[in-house]
Structure 1
């Protein structure tokens, strides 16, 4: 195994200089050309750091704790963990993940991560919501993922719920839809509040009048299907913005019962880019992709910057579907999500194939 001493001998500098460079503490202390030569030599000799020795020396384990409620067991939200893992790996950290079923075992799982000596925590929820952060995390660097603390003091990241709805509704406006309905969520959620506001604002900016009769806030199953069915009969919408892809299925079902073709007679936009719905509905559903990977990646980078008291602006920026928000911007940081065009909106390239010859 190559040692720092061997690198020092090869480059003609002191061991302390090599240590500063390889531990990322050379800025302002070591000339840039010297630092570059040390890194080049270390790579050439196959140098790898010793995590145990480093943790004993610095008091840091370079382990991040990820505490989630349902996220770890939800397939399409696993991108949060993947994003956090990728960022942690690039920055030289490991990620330990625990999944909780609510406050009942949350403190116990957090205590387990503490026994492993984690340097900081990410605390994630399945759907964007306000949270009361457990007191046991008060003394650790902490970043919230898809959640916001009620006091607004803790760094956090979430989808830009308002822009999700605004962009989706404007897409329907651009497609020529005259009566655009919103199939929302009948639960008090941050996402519902933001998406309803974005839907309303888009209509007003397009010169339309917001009509409460075109809003159907539903939960799921039979009652939801009946509510959307009644919306069709009562208001005859030609465009639908749906709170998520699952609710878009009710629109497809009701359209089919009436002999209407989605993408030609009615246009539909969902949210999630949930693989089961977005790829199996026919025609395929135009949808806004939630930024699970982006939130996980951003959160891990932000957490490391807190642990190391380091400017995160120099961290690698991955190629993501949605651009990452600034690390030092407003709190919560909001991701402007990407609308994925498929065939469920009239006038799209894909929907043109639905038109009769």
Structure 2
């Protein structure tokens, strides 16, 4: 039997090859050389480390710094929402870029299970936590998380104890309605959510009304409805068509846009010509399969996960990340500053075929 033996390059060997001290090599390879090591020496050390395939020893580093470089990611709905994947991917990409590892747990909304999972993550020696909610909502962060630096994702902390990041909900409503106005629509409806009180619904409705007011379009309550799901929702949208005769519709999410497509087809109306529609979510099932393709506002789950990790690492390490880390490759919307309070992301509208062209 043959074994592959990996020979690890050490800092001492890099120091010998570059003619500097081990402490200098340590400063450079731990990105603490600014103002301490001459740039040309730092460049030489990094070049040698790269050429020799140097990899830091995480165990040795954790013993030296009392940090494991592990982040705990706690959520109650990872397994039940289509958006969790993007949120986790953003967090993982940022953690990888910062030299951290992500441990993810799902609690299924069980508070007892949540406490056990948090206790387990603490036993693993995590340096901090991200607490994720899958829908923008007012949230009470568990006390057990507050033992370490914690960031809340897609939720609002009313206590002011932890930083949080959410989509800019009012701008979503404003941008979507403004897009319909710019396309020539004047009888613009809003189809909101009535199954529960969403922070997002309140914000998007406020943005909808603000856009109407700025365009000198009178608000008509007959065009503003809230629906649930399935047949009751379809019936409510159907009645709104007959009662209010909209020429443009902004929907709380892409799923509710499906009811609009159904009602338009029933009346022989063509989406994107006779009536314009904008959704929210950029949900693959709806935004990529409805015909014509649905204009939608992309929710920044990837960006929230990415920003949350950068914010958390800055709290753990006591300094901001390098500027280049603030432009994630996988995102569509720009990140807010790390010191923003609250942190809100202005979401990107993706124009497709469901909105009529001007004129």
Same fold, TM-score > 0.5, yes or no: yes
From 96, 118, 122, give the equivalent of 2:103.
96
TM-score normalised by structure 2 residue count: 0.94
- Measured on the aligned residues, the alpha-carbon RMSD in Å equals 1.3
Alignment of 1:266-281 (within 5 A): 266-281=275-290
**TM superposition shift of 1:104:** 3.4
- Relative to structure 1, the CA distance from residue 42 to residue 73 in structure 2 (aligned partners, 3 Å threshold; closer, same or farther) is farther
Matched, 1:212 2:214: no
Partner of 1:288: 297
**TM superposition shift of 1:251:** 0.6
Partner of 2:189: 181
Partner of 1:146: 154
Deviation digits for residues 255-303 of structure 1, max 9, x if unmatched? Answer: 1111111111110000001000011111110000101111111111111
Give the match's secondary structure for 2:218: coil
Query: Does structure 1 conserve the Cα–Cα contact (< 8 Å) formed by 2:74 and 2:107?
Result: yes
Alignment of 1:256-271 (within 5 A): 256-271=265-280
Query: Does structure 2 conserve the Cα–Cα contact (< 8 Å) formed by 1:313 and 1:327?
Result: no
From 7, 10, 17, give the equivalent of 1:3.
10
Cα distance in 1 between the residues matched to 2:44 and 2:199:
51
From 107, 114, 121, give the equivalent of 2:122.
114
Cα distance in 2 between the residues matched to 1:73 and 1:9:
54
Query: Does structure 2 conserve the Cα–Cα contact (< 8 Å) formed by 1:288 and 1:339?
Result: yes
Give the match's secondary structure for 2:137: strand
Alignment of 1:314-333 (within 5 A): 314-316=323-325, 317-319=327-329, 320-329=331-340, 331-333=341-343
Cα distance in 2 between the residues matched to 1:33 and 1:80:
39
Q: Which runs of 5+ in 2 are unaligned?
A: 1-7
Matched, 1:347 2:347: no
Cα distance in 1 between the residues matched to 2:161 and 2:184:
43
- Relative to structure 1, the CA distance from residue 260 to residue 97 in structure 2 (aligned partners, 3 Å threshold; closer, same or farther) is same
Matched, 1:169 2:177: yes
Question: Which moved further from structure 2: 208-217 or 132-141?
Answer: 208-217
Question: Which moved further from structure 2: 183-192 or 243-252?
Answer: 183-192
From 121, 133, 142, give the equivalent of 2:141.
133
Q: Which runs of 5+ in 1 are unaligned?
A: 353-357
Aligned residues: 348
Deviation digits for residues 308-350 of structure 1, max 9, x if unmatched? Answer: 0012353522232111111122x221111111111100117xx
From 234, 243, 246, give the equivalent of 2:255.
246
